[in-house]
Structure 1
Amino acid sequence: MVNDSNGNLPPPQELESFLPQDDKNEKVLRTYNLRKEKDAESGDYDPFSERNLENPTSNMDTLTHLLKASLGTGILAMPKAFKCVGIVSGVFFTILVAVVCTHCAYVLIKCAHVLYKKTRKPAMSFPEVAEAALDNGPIGLRKWSNTFRVFIIISLFMTYFGTCSVYTVIIAKNIMQVVLHYMEDQKNVLGIRIFIIILLIPLIFMVWIKNLKYLAPVSMIANLFMGLGLGITFYFLVGTDGLDFNKVVPIKPPNEWPEFFSLTIFAMEAIGVVMPLENSMKTPRSMLGFCGVLNKGMSGVTLVYILLGFLGYLRYGDAVEDSITLNLEPQLGDPKVYEVLAQIVKVAIAIAVYCTFGLQFFVCIEIMWNSIKDKFTKRPDLADYVMRTIMVTACVLLAVAVPTIGPFMGVIGAFCFSILGLIAPAFIEIITYWNIGFGPYKYLIWKNVLVLIFGLFALVFGTKDAIISIIKVYSA
């Protein structure tokens, strides 16, 4: 029924027409799967030559986006993180977290490249990679593939939608502090909610940028302003008085370590934007490799995280605040100069976070649009813009309703980022290489067991710390 006159199998595209609607013809289904795997192994299908993009991003564009996604406002908490483990342990533990997070992102992309050939698809999102891994894995797990995909989708959407709502609050707070610094008589009139509402129109315009290629200059602007804010911060940290090692402890007791990992993992993690960036690249293979875009970007991010954490803790010791900007005090010259510089830091961080909003919200837009685009085939562009406007409005209204949303998102972030950024990639790699092999001494299994343990550690203690933060905020 399936073979041609010469006894050869037709290509998978033709075999799909013979796929059974029930379990009556399992032989055809097995033949189909075997042919797909044979084609994948033979290398006949090149997914990257089949990928047609109107505006592909260059390696430099992708690197810029990656830096902005990983170098967020969480970096300002690195001195506090160092306080939890000690100045020597902080350096080594930051490198450990960076290696694990980068490795998990690397694993996700590597598995995607394997699954592109197995499924004969030129590109896939994170949820699609998760689904394809189970679809092509052990028979007993294939029935759970759609459930796994839906779980990844919901987790990604909740995490990044909430994160963007928190970003809105951060932008508004920084702007409000600068405005009220020069308009003290308006303190009883201008509240945080007014500043959040004012941000609605600018954020809508930001999210209307539909292509990652056009978001690259915006990410570059964000990097420049974040660099300006960090540069001024470093200026105050180094000062002219010298740094006193007597203020710090080399290694803290292990019972204080969990907070370090929860702060660092969730500040550095950017698993949600990895696949959108790879899918938009002109040369996707350049994402991987020892000197690939991913390793270059995360190496730079790690260096900045270590520098700020080290110098911040060394300057202020155990007196360091949750955000290092709260510790800034006049160290040099005229206090008026300090006052101006302090306000510049707040404005620079506000602009940097605003310019990051579009990239972070891109994850939510992609998820929502993929779920509704089949219903709007007549005027898809109009539907796309309307959807983006409604979603941004909902995000801003959430921030208006709950300006103290940060601690709540800490729970979702701790839960979702541990699963999405650490546990899920390790699980996907095991399933993807189930039929390919786990290498000498099955090292892939042992390596991923360690990653899973690390992820569970971050999940449990990160969630605990976030819940404690909620109790502190609302008990006050």
Structure 2
Amino acid sequence: MSEKHNHGFFEDGRTDSYSSFSAAINSREILTQRDKDNIYTVELKDLRKSIEAGEYDPHKHREAEHATTNIETLLHLLKGSLGTGILAMPLAFAHSGYILGTIATILIGCLCTYCIHMLINCEYELCKRRNVPRMTYPTTAECAFQDGPPFFQRIAPYTPHIVNFFLMLFQLGTTTVYTVFIGENIHLVLKENDIEVDARWIMLIFLLPLILINYVKNLKFLAPVSSVANIITVISFALIFYYMVQQDIVWENREPFGNYEDYPLFFGTVLFALEAIGVIMPLENEMKTPKSFLGICGVLNSAMMVIVSLYTGLGLYGYLAYGSDVGGSISFAIGNDIPAQVCKVMLSLAIYTSHPLQMYPAICIAWKEYLQPLFEKNPHQIYYEYAVRTFLVFITFCLAVAVPYIELFISLFGALSLSALGLAFPALIYISTHWDSLKGVRGTMIIVRNIVIFCFAIIGLVIGTSTSLEKIVEKFSGTNSTV
């Protein structure tokens, strides 16, 4: 039986204690991570004991200061996904048509769920190989590429920064959309009561509350708020469905297949709506029973079934009820009576409470991975952390004021960030993680399958991003020409 010296594993998968321990000593990912949530420190003596004891089970060695239950994790995942994206689904169906939109939303939802499964399974496998309890998305990508083909091994040191870039881009884009959404909905409510206040001023009013709620550091403390927000969201969606049912469902001017030039906008919007990739791994890493996250009836599948069903139903009925004039959020079109105004206010409140959940990964990346080491010995470190949190919220506020187009922002960041994070990277990570075992016909089929997913993601990224940018330029050109 031959030893694989580059990884410290035998052909049958057993760990060679000496080579594995040596690799662990030289591994930057294992020994220099600091964040107790996702970025960890492994003591050498504990690592030696775990190797000598036999096969390492990461789930048994995870210690979260504020571990979440399955129900709390499910609520966080639902709240992280049921945001502004679902309210843009009727417009997405206007781009795709009601037949294509229904089929494509379900297929994209299944594909996203499958890619998340691949990513979490790879994290677990890589944790076992390196004898660590947990990994972040960037560390998972780096460790996978280290175990992959020669070319991937050469670019492995750069992958964490690439992943961090896309994660930061997406999370900041999401919170920017949230800020625009709050401003636009409150603006409409005030306008319906003959109070004319520009949406940008409303965003400015909400700036301080958004900064303060993002000072909450632990997801555990947000669970009660998330539960209340979920109740508010359910009531708001019930009101929206009520208004949709009241509308006459007209098949005239409702296309089964939309204009193919608008398909990239549909793709970006659905990806933005369905994917919560930025919070997936932090949520799974903070669970009391992380083994319950995957599985046929696990937390992930249960949440995604609810999410895909809601997105498909709201997109279909919203488009049939209001047509292509529905706007970037269906809440804009439901009416202006008292229940409709209450619905808009409740949705704004729910989105406000979701803001810190979406900002959480961006704060972890900016502060804990890049900036905290610079202030490690500074006695005023806590003040610098709050300064970073404040700055990130302020950046999203500035973007919201500069580009107040919800539908195009959603499509842009969905295509640009989530094509990479939700589809392309999980496919490459899976190939790299299992590279040495992908032999024969079965291995070739797995490689081909993941390459197809990767190519599909890249095509969606390029075409979706370029289309969204063109539409944004057209919006600005139209605004400027009007002025």
User: 1:174 Cα deviation (Å)?
Assistant: 1.6
Q: Counterparts of 2:239 and 2:350 in 1: how far apart (Å)? A: 14
- 1:85-234 → structure 2 map (5 Å cutoff): 85-184=96-195, 187=196, 190-234=197-241
2:390 alignment counterpart: 389
- 1:227-306 → structure 2 map (5 Å cutoff): 227-239=234-246, 243-246=249-252, 248-252=254-258, 256-306=262-312
Q: Counterparts of 1:191 and 1:83 in 2: how far apart (Å)? A: 28
User: 1:354 Cα deviation (Å)?
Assistant: 0.5
Q: Counterparts of 1:408 and 1:252 in 2: how far apart (Å)? A: 20
Instruction: Look up the SS of the partner of 2:55 in the other structure.
Output: coil
Q: Counterparts of 2:159 and 2:408 in 1: how far apart (Å)? A: 27
User: 1:446 Cα deviation (Å)?
Assistant: 2.4
Indicate yes or no: 2:482 matched with 1:470. no
Q: Counterparts of 1:43 and 1:92 in 2: how far apart (Å)? A: 47
Q: Counterparts of 1:249 and 1:373 in 2: how far apart (Å)? A: 53
Instruction: Look up the SS of the partner of 1:282 in the other structure.
Output: coil
Q: Counterparts of 2:136 and 2:129 in 1: how far apart (Å)? A: 15
> What is the alpha-carbon root mean square deviation over aligned residues?
2.8
After TM superposition, the structure 1 stretch with the greater mean CA deviation from structure 2, 348-357 or 43-52, is 43-52
2:429 alignment counterpart: 428
Q: Counterparts of 2:144 and 2:23 in 1: how far apart (Å)? A: 21
Instruction: Look up the SS of the partner of 1:435 in the other structure.
Output: helix
1:373 alignment counterpart: 372
Instruction: Look up the SS of the partner of 2:88 in the other structure.
Output: helix
User: 1:252 Cα deviation (Å)?
Assistant: 4.7
% identical equivalent positions? 37
Instruction: Look up the SS of the partner of 1:289 in the other structure.
Output: coil
1:27 alignment counterpart: none
User: 1:13 Cα deviation (Å)?
Assistant: 4.0
Cα 1:192–1:237 change in 2 (3 A) is: closer
Indicate yes or no: 2:44 matched with 1:46. no
Q: Counterparts of 1:18 and 1:152 in 2: how far apart (Å)? A: 23
Q: Counterparts of 1:409 and 1:250 in 2: how far apart (Å)? A: 23
Cα 1:424–1:438 change in 2 (3 A) is: farther
Contact 2:83 2:351 in 1 (8 A): yes
1:313 alignment counterpart: 319
Cα 1:326–1:373 change in 2 (3 A) is: closer
Contact 1:258 1:462 in 2 (8 A): yes
User: 1:397 Cα deviation (Å)?
Assistant: 3.9
Q: Counterparts of 2:280 and 2:429 in 1: how far apart (Å)? A: 15
Q: Counterparts of 2:113 and 2:309 in 1: how far apart (Å)? A: 14
Cα 1:284–1:177 change in 2 (3 A) is: same
Instruction: Look up the SS of the partner of 1:248 in the other structure.
Output: coil
1:339 alignment counterpart: 337
After TM superposition, the structure 1 stretch with the greater mean CA deviation from structure 2, 292-301 or 157-166, is 157-166
Contact 1:86 1:250 in 2 (8 A): yes
TM-score computed with the length of structure 1 as normaliser: 0.84
1:24 alignment counterpart: none
Indicate yes or no: 2:353 matched with 1:355. yes
- 1:27-46 → structure 2 map (5 Å cutoff): 44-46=55-57
- 1:7-18 → structure 2 map (5 Å cutoff): 10=18, 12-13=20-21
Q: Counterparts of 1:79 and 1:141 in 2: how far apart (Å)? A: 40
Q: Counterparts of 1:266 and 1:400 in 2: how far apart (Å)? A: 20
User: 1:255 Cα deviation (Å)?
Assistant: 5.4
Instruction: Look up the SS of the partner of 1:281 in the other structure.
Output: coil
Q: Which runs of 5+ in 2 are unaligned?
A: 1-15, 28-46, 479-483
Cα 1:318–1:174 change in 2 (3 A) is: closer
Cα 1:356–1:462 change in 2 (3 A) is: same
User: 1:223 Cα deviation (Å)?
Assistant: 2.0
Cα 1:466–1:252 change in 2 (3 A) is: closer
1:445 alignment counterpart: 447
1:325-359 CA-partner distances (Å, limit 9, x unpaired): 33324xxxxxxxx6102211211221111011000
Instruction: Look up the SS of the partner of 1:274 in the other structure.
Output: helix
Q: Which runs of 5+ in 1 are unaligned?
A: 1-7, 20-35, 330-337
Contact 1:40 1:117 in 2 (8 A): no
Contact 1:78 1:305 in 2 (8 A): yes
Cα 1:211–1:453 change in 2 (3 A) is: same
Instruction: Look up the SS of the partner of 2:435 in the other structure.
Output: coil
